[in-house]
Structure 1
Amino acid sequence: MATPYLRILIVDDQLLQSVYIEKLFNSNGYYRVAPVASFNEFLLLASQAIDKFDLVVLNGAIKGCTPARLEEVQQNCSSIGYILIYGARIAGTANSGTVGERQAVIELSGVPGIESIKTVMQSVDPRKN
């Protein structure tokens, strides 16, 4: 059973792709899903967040997403639990697992599908463990 209150943020400038990913989460019982269309919007939300985002689903090919900026987010933003990066390999990012208070970073080579969402949520959702 899914934990319905988990907060998920989708960062993708391609609207149809973002909607597709949101629907995948919805079909698995996750409804607190918010899309943003730019990396700068993501940075603003992450830096201003009062409540933690349990998962950020990030299109690694989005404009403004560089290894240095992502590393900065990992080091300075405690409002993010896990980061799922897809669509582009971001050199210099950590592999799965947390290091201290840092986020776990999971990379996919392509757009997430239903099976990859289920697999990722095994780590993110405490009820799935």
Structure 2
Amino acid sequence: MPNKALRIMIADTQHAHRMRLEFLFNQLGYFRIVPVSDVQELMTLVEYASEPFDLLVVDACLGEGALDLPGFFLEHPQVRHGMIYNARQAGPMPVPGVRRASVHLHPAPLPDLVSLANLMARVDPQDNVSAAPWGRAIRQGFRG
């Protein structure tokens, strides 16, 4: 079962992208989602949050020129895990120290259900992917 207490922030300038990602997270069983449309909203909500965000999913284009996203993930204690999509490179980002659990760079313009499910398997390890209706597609390596 997904941990329904996880706090997730989605940051993208495009409303349709934020809505699509929220819908995908809802399909995975996550509902505590905060969508934001610009760097100022992101910074304000992260800075003044009463508790840390478990996951921040952000479009790489959002931070261009205004915010060093990888540095932000490494330095900010109010964000536990992160995914930067629409990134120039892909894969886990090497993170010095023990404090940060994961920062993942994803090259696709928008992550799909399988990508988010794989990410959530790391962020929320007690989630039993095999029992979920979409678990078979993940176990078989479905990409689509």
CA distance in structure 2 between the partners assigned to 1:67 and 1:100 by the alignment: 27
CA distance in 2, matches of 1:30, 1:60: 23
Match of 1:106 in 2: 104
Which structure has the larger Rg over C-alpha atoms? 2
Aligned partner of 1:78 in structure 2 is 77
In the alignment, what sits opposite 2:47? 47
**1:24 alignment counterpart:** 24
Which runs of 5 or more structure 1 residues have no equivalent in the other structure?
A: none
Using the aligned pairs only, state the percent identity. Answer: 30
Q: 1:14-51, CA deviations, whole angstroms, 9 ceiling, x for partnerless residues? A: 00011000000001100001100001211121111121
The structural deviation recorded for 1:126 is 3.4
| Equivalence map 1:30-69=2 (5 Å) | 30-62=30-62, 64-66=63-65, 69=68
Structure 2 gaps of 5+ residues are 129-144
TM-score by length of 2: 0.77
Contact 1:95 1:106 in 2 (8 A): yes
Using the size of structure 1 for normalisation, the TM-score is 0.85
- Greater RCO, CA 8 A, separation 6+: 1
Compared CA separation, residues 98 and 22, structure 1 to 2 (3 A): farther
- Paired with 2:103 and 2:65, the residues of 1 have a C-alpha distance of 14
